Amino acid sequence: MTFKTGFIAVIGRPNAGKSTLMNALLGQKVAAVSPRAQTPRRRQLGILTGEGYQLVFVDTPGLHNPRHKLGEFLNQEAEESLQRAQLILWVIDAAEGPAEDEARIAALLAQMKKRPPLFVALNKTDLLTPEQIPAKISACAALVAGTEIFPLSAVRGNGLPHLLENMLAKMPEGDPEFEPDQVTDLYEKEIAADLIREACLLILRDEVPHGINVRMDEFTERNESGAYIAATIFVERESQKGIVIGEGGAMLKKIGSAARKEIETMSDRKVFLELRVKVEKDWRDDEDILRRFGYKMNKKKKKR
């Protein structure tokens, strides 16, 4: 029996539903999601192993027009994911349709010398009427020549079996790179940090979320008692710190409660979560702080 395997780069603009789609294909939550853009801030693998195949999805930050050093890093992460892929899965928000950022992605794909097969996942079709879908498909097809379009809804699961079948057809034969029961390359500690930030994105006001970073300070097993987790939420301004903490600590407690529930679901055990908030002024535009937070920026070559 032949075994098919390959890497699939999942790209798209922020908030198109890339992480939601990957979670849906895997049948479990491994990537943080929220209605706010730029929830993922690094590449994350989602590993789907079945009878005779292993698909490795590379979930990436959303490609966009960067406004700070962090934005440049996010684009860099997404673009680098294309280099090793056997297939590119471009997720487009059907409700909004192709927009300015899609044109940027189309230009990036057109520049690739040896581009792998390209699928477009026209996501969120559950928000459209059946009569609206053909025009959206035509608009997507006009972006890049030779594109296969798959209308679907990651939230409802519509169209996923058809997409999966076609992705498998494009995969080469080979040996699996990961154990059958492995579903991601991130450690539980890293996923927990993402889930804390996800809770912040879901609960806080619009002016705060993108200026938030989470650092794990302690992750200790307590045998039958579960795990003890201590983390620091970093913001860019003192005023944001007050918003995150809230009156009498109410907002921070709400964030902690939401994050704890998600972490317990992910880890299948009880968790004691302790959060604190600190200010790192304008950290998104400070390369030294970004490196300290784990965002490894590539140095640009100087022009001669």
Q: Which domain holds residue 75?
A: 4-170
Lowest mean pLDDT among 31-35, 109-113, 114-118, 259-263: 31-35
- Give pLDDT tens digits for 249-265: 999 999 999 999 999 98
The answer to whether residue 132 scores a pLDDT higher than 70 is yes
Q: What is the pLDDT of residue 301?
A: 41
Shared domain for 194 and 232, answered yes or no, is yes
**Same domain (yes/no): 56, 162:** yes
Residue 296, pLDDT score: 67
| Average pLDDT estimate for 154-182 | 94
Highest mean pLDDT among 29-38, 187-196, 244-253: 244-253
pLDDT at res. 78: 58
Q: Token pair 């009498």 is at which residue?
A: 248
Lowest mean pLDDT, pick from 53-57, 82-86, 195-199, 234-238: 82-86
- What sign does the dihedral 105-110-113-119 (CA atoms) show? positive
Q: Are residues 192 and 157 in the same domain?
A: no
Is 297 part of any domain?
no
Residues 116, 154, single domain; the answer is yes
Q: How many domains does the chain have?
A: 2
Q: What is the CATH number of the domain that holds 105?
A: 3.40.50.300
More confidently predicted of 40 and 215? 215
DSSP-based three-state secondary structure for 230? strand
Check: CB of residue 39 under 8 Å from CB of residue 13.
Answer: no
> For residue 277, which amino acid is it?
V
Asked whether residue 141 is domain-assigned, the answer is yes
In a domain, 268, yes or no: yes
Q: Decide if 300 is inside a domain.
A: no
Q: Backbone dihedral region of 280: left (phi > 0), alpha (psi from -120 to 50 degrees) or beta? A: beta
Residues 6 and 304: their CA atoms lie apart, in Å, by 39
82 assigned to some structural domain? yes
Q: Model confidence over 25-42: pLDDT tens digits?
A: 998 877 665 444 444 456
Hunting for tokens 């030779």 — which residue is that? 146
pTM: 0.70
pLDDT for the residue numbered 209: 60
Burial 220-253 (b: 16+ CB within 10 A, else e): eeeeeebbebebbbbbbeeebbeebbeeeeebbe
Q: Examine the pLDDT at 163 and tell me if it is beyond 50.
A: yes
Average pLDDT, the chain: 84
Same domain? For 12 and 153 the reply is: yes
